[in-house]
Amino acid sequence: MKVLVATKSLEVFHALQGRNDVQIEEALFSGQVYDGLAGARLVIIDFDDLVPHPHSIEMLREVLADSGTLSVSSEEFLAQPDRWLADAMRATGEMTTLPDKMAIAVVSYSGGTGRTTLAIDTALHFARRTRLPVLLTEFTYGVSSITALTGLTTPHLFDLTTQVDAVPAKWKGVTLAPMDYENCQDLPLTLLSKFMHDQMGHHVLTVIDAQWPHALLGSIRDQIDRWLVIANPRPDSIENARKLKEELGQNASIVLNQVGGASDTLALQGVERDLVLSTVQNVDRFEGHLGKKILSLTYGTANWRRYEPKNAFARLGRRLGLSRNSTKSPS
């Protein structure tokens, strides 16, 4: 049984020594805890002892709370070590894998490609499938596209960046940070960069809806792991996507969206692309049909398949909002 030990307490290690049924894995950084969660049956953790790198302690607390893996402080463990180990042996909340921490930008030169819809659907689908923290933000001009499509009134980036007591809203498990460009255009990049860096540290996945070029995007450009360049079947849109991919470099992929009938298929023959998304009915319901394919491209089909329901019963459970089994602590 794997026990993840994230504490400076030597007494914990002494209590575990000589246990042939225990495999100890030590973690002192937040990233080591996140990576070590896979396969762990018990986590002995003192959050104050951890170095918050590269993930925030806040994100780690949320991940642990939703993981279903039994976790306990060193003080609680040392009070009843045999009881905690026995409960961990019986527990069913072991995490088999966790997705890599990522920041992806869904980007295009102009509107009309379905960029914002793809960003929202991807963030919502990630939240539904993993129950892990996900941030949705945007770098656009004019009014907020996220606000327009969700119909929500939430704190915008200017207030979130400049007001200490402003807190991002959550919608269906997704943290929202929409941009109000008229105010944000005068924000110092250093101030915006600090806020975004902190927020990205709190979330496993960050999805950015971005119009290119955008001066404020420089505040987080170096933190983006993958660029998804969105185009539709129009020749000018495809050519723009090709040029943008060249500009962004090797971490950019072309996604052809809103592909319809046979005429589109013929027109796209020989066109460079990494993913083709067909036109979806009632796309504003955000049911995950598009988000699933975006996440499969981002993480790799084999890796992302682990988070998709494998049968009708699992799909029903997701629809009813059933979460992973939780384990009660010893009484």
pLDDT digits (tens, 9 = 90+) for 228-285: 999 999 889 999 999 999 999 999 999 999 998 766 766 677 788 999 999 999 999 9
Residues 6 or more apart from 311 whose CB is under 8 A from it?
none
Summary mean pLDDT of the chain: 90
What does the pLDDT average to over 283-298? 96
User: Strand 2-6 relative to strand 23-26: parallel, antiparallel, unpaired?
Assistant: parallel
Q: Which 8-state DSSP code applies to residue 224?
A: -
Q: Distance between CA atoms of 228 and 113, rounded to whole angstroms?
A: 12
What does the pLDDT average to over 299-308? 92
**Confidence category of residue 313, pLDDT binned at 50, 70, 90:** very low
Number of other residues whose CB lies within 10 A of the CB of residue 136: 27
pLDDT at 315: 46
For 147-175, the pLDDT digits (tens) are: 999 999 899 999 999 999 999 999 999 99
pTM to 2 decimals?
0.86
Q: Distance between CA atoms of 22 and 287, rounded to whole angstroms?
A: 42
pLDDT at 251: 96
pLDDT at 267: 64
What does the pLDDT average to over 169-191? 94
Q: Distance between CA atoms of 23 and 16, rounded to whole angstroms?
A: 9
pLDDT at 122: 98
327 compared with 82, residue with greater pLDDT: 82
Question: At residue 62, does pLDDT exceed 60?
Answer: yes
